[in-house]
Structure 1
Amino acid sequence: MDQLSLQSLFKVNEIEIIYRNTVPYQDRIQIRSSSTAYEILLATWAENRIELVEQFKILLLDQKNNCLGVSDIGTGGMSSCLADPKVIFATALKARATGIILAHNHPSGNLTPSEQDKTLTRKLQDGGKLLDIAVLDHLIVTPHNYRSFADDGLMPG
């Protein structure tokens, strides 16, 4: 094997994981209800997009359900949005979250979950079990109201 081929074998990407928490523990908001989660989400949603395009976000929680942060996962069109489980769980793992709350908006204002919403929730809950990350709720949000899967008994067993 010549020197050039040998050198190319050692060219690999280096992966570094960094976690920075700028909010002290005592200042984190504890999520005790879906209404608190909704208030946090609504405060972070772009007012000019919530009724225009569908977006997917997650709330990242520690073991005491204190909010570590909100992460934008994806933006779609008027009636759908891709929520990639790999991105969701990579984000949760990097934030050292032990629980997450899923959220997306329905620009139409209709709070009824679609079959795709239910299927995605089930899929993410199953994935969370493997990683020991609890999927605690899934909220559908509009500027005026929300629907909680957990409150309505729609979270998979």
Structure 2
Amino acid sequence: MSSGGIVGTVVDPRLIFVTALKANACAIILAHNHPCGNLTPSMGDKKMTNRLMDAGKLLNIEVLDHIIVTSGGYYSFAEQMAYEKVQHGKSFYLEALQPF
């Protein structure tokens, strides 16, 4: 529940969890994009993930994962792994990169 500019955004944990509470969710998956295409989580991404996980514990709403999406793949905080989109002929698949 955030919108931002090219270089950043402001995330309000209250808006995220009020939505989860209204839906009677017992778990959530967070996701956001990096328009620049960089799969590496920023320090802000890491701090916000930890804040949201701590908030979820207080509310008994587990944060299962936080995913960063780019046009070339995605990064999963739960797996601590990036996956890059690779083309093989006419098909695309995701290939795991080395952990960060």
For the aligned pair, the TM-score class normalised by the smaller chain equals 0.7 to 0.9
Rg comparison, structure with higher value: 1
Q: Hey, which bits of structure 1, 4+ residues long, moved more than 2 A?
A: none
- The AA in structure 1 aligned to 2:5 is G
Q: In the alignment, what sits opposite 1:79?
A: 7
Instruction: Looking at secondary structure, tell me which structure has more strand per residue.
Output: 2
TM-score (structure 2 length as normaliser): 0.77
State which of 12, 21, 27 in structure 2 corresponds to 1:93. 21
Aligned-partner SS, 1:136: strand
Deviations 1:61-105 (A, max 9, x none): xxxxxxxxxxxx111000111110000000000011110111110
Unpaired segments ≥5 residues, structure 2:
82-100
Aligned-partner SS, 1:75: coil
- The AA in structure 2 aligned to 1:123 is R
- The AA in structure 1 aligned to 2:54 is D
Q: In the alignment, what sits opposite 1:113?
A: 41
User: How many pairs were matched up?
Assistant: 81
Percent sequence identity over aligned pairs: 58
- The AA in structure 1 aligned to 2:76 is S
Aligned-partner SS, 2:2: strand
Q: In the alignment, what sits opposite 2:58?
A: 130
TM-score (structure 1 length as normaliser): 0.50
